[in-house]
Amino acid sequence: MSPLSLSMMVVDFSQVANTRNYSALHDALDQDLESTLNQLLGSDLNLIHKKSLVEESISHVTSKGSLDGILKASEVLSNYSTYDALLNSLHSAAAELLIAQEDFSDAAGQLTKLNFDLISSSDQVLETYIKIVRLYLEDDDSINSETYLNKSATLIHTCTNKPLILSFKLSQARILDYKRDFIRSATIFQELSYEGDLDNDDRLSSLSAAIVTAILAPAGPKRSRILSTLYRDERCRQTQHFNILEKVFLDRILSAHDIESFSKHLSSHQIAKISYASDNTDEQGLKHSPTNVLERAMIEHNLLSASKIFDNITFAGLSKLLNLSIQGAESVASHMIMQGRLEAYIDQVESVIVFTPSQTSHEGDLGGAANVAAAQEDDRQFEAAYAPHTHAWDAQIKSIASLIEATAAKIEEKGLV
């Protein structure tokens, strides 16, 4: 820039402050924002006039809607603690512009620079934390999002704002999903699917997420229990995942076609690689271990399903069933046995896995059509907690039915029919 243009940017800030004619200030800001702000902040104006002109300058910059200008202004003001409130407004404005450009991580980064001590309401702080969490999740950044979810957790217990509480729960469920804590994630998604404050589409979306995370959970009694409550929920028939939910709940062995169809509806982190070893195959090309999250869940499910069908199975037979090497099939089985998710023992001499399901495990495992009746008490308790009006209605129907039956019995007893 030439010396002439530089001289044109010199502003008499005292005159601007006294006359409140900001046109010269605006022109200078438009020509060289950084230089003009530095001149203003370094001027010998009294604090009141200087603060007034700085506020006017920031208002002008934000009204222009230029991301570059807002970032430059925030960089200059970051050196002056006196203007933290204005700096907050710049960071918020930059975040909104970045969101519009779908640059979610940078938008979250701008919000993390806020001086939260200047935000008066704890609900506003909580809202900002949750917004940061959701922005990071848009870019699949579960690590940074969890950091701010933990900050949110310190405030959520005092919050009475229902939409904020629901946003927190949704973010929590999504992060648990990213962390592969599928049981807890499915539980929270299922709770959200019963929230009356959410519209029907959001409830069904939460229900679908609960089904997906439950299916991806480690095979065993905990997974079977939540699959059972989902399968008995009539709304699940409206979701695109009902067919596979039914097969998984009924302990049917899933085919490659079933798994492939299901995988098309999963997010990238749900089919993320968990094994990259180049020597993960045997001479026949069979894998020694599952290579992604979905594959591991489906292999464990098919093994658990086999335990409901067979009394025992050879390593070779299990290898064909799971599409793993003999070594890999044995490894998966032994791992599930050690974790208490599969009741069986391995006979190394005969190269056989013997399944030993106990009566206790059948009572606690609600998977399979034969065990639906055993879960009726769970249904009653769940309904009482999440659908109290329906529960009360059912109770009235039962009461009326009992009265009708008693009346019919008395009529028959007195020979009136």
pLDDT digits (tens, 9 = 90+) for 80-95: 888 999 999 999 999 9
Q: Is the pLDDT of residue 299 over 70?
A: yes
Q: How many other C-beta atoms can be found within 10 angstroms of the C-beta atom of residue 382?
A: 17
Pairing relationship of beta strands 344-347 and 352-355 according to DSSP bridges:
antiparallel
As a whole number of angstroms, the distance between CA 307 and CA 313 comes to 9
Cα distance between residue 79 and residue 76, in whole Å: 6
Q: With the C-alpha atoms ordered 247, 252, 254, 257, is the resulting torsion angle positive or negative?
A: negative
Percentage of the chain beyond pLDDT 70 is 85
Answer whether 155's CB lies under 8 Å from 195's CB.
no
Angle at CA of residue 348, ends 345 and 354, nearest 5°: 30
HSE-CB at 106 with a 13 A cutoff on CA atoms is 12
Average pLDDT, the chain: 86
pLDDT in tens, 324-377: 999 999 999 999 999 989 999 999 998 999 998 775 444 444 444 444 444 445
Q: What is the pTM of this model?
A: 0.77
Give dist(CA 341, CA 355) in Å, integer.
12
Length of the chain measured in residues: 417
CB 221 within 8 A of CB 235: no
- Of all helices (H) and strands (E), which one includes residue 10? none
Residue 391 has pLDDT above 80, yes or no: no
Please check whether residue 68 is in contact with residue 40, taking contact to mean a CB–CB distance below 8 angstroms: no
Helix axis angle, 315-322 relative to 326-338, nearest 10°?
Answer: 90
Strand ranges for 15-103 from DSSP E: none
For 344, 362, 363, 383, the CA distances from 358, given in Å and listed in that order, are: 10, 7, 9, 29
Averaged pLDDT, 257-276: 86
Q: Contact 319/325 with Cβ under 8 angstroms?
A: yes
When pLDDT is cut at 50, 70 and 90, the band that residue 11 belongs to is confident
Least confident interval from 42-46, 223-227, 365-369, 396-400: 365-369
Provide φ and ψ at 345, rounded to 5°.
-140, 155
Q: What is the pLDDT of residue 303?
A: 94
DSSP, residue by residue, 192-203: HTT-TTS-HHHH
Six-digit token string for 304: 């658990």
Lowest mean pLDDT among 128-142, 237-251, 370-384: 370-384
pLDDT in tens, 171-182: 999 999 999 999
State the pLDDT at residue 43.
Answer: 87
Task: Give 155: exposed, middle or buried? Use CB within 10 Å, 0-12, 13-18, 19+.
Answer: middle
Residues 27-40 have pLDDT tens digits of 889 889 999 999 89
pLDDT of 115 > 60? The answer is yes
Q: What is the reported pLDDT for 357?
A: 79
Tell me the pairing of strands 312-314 and 344-347: unpaired
255: phi then psi, degrees, rounded to nearest 5: -85, 170
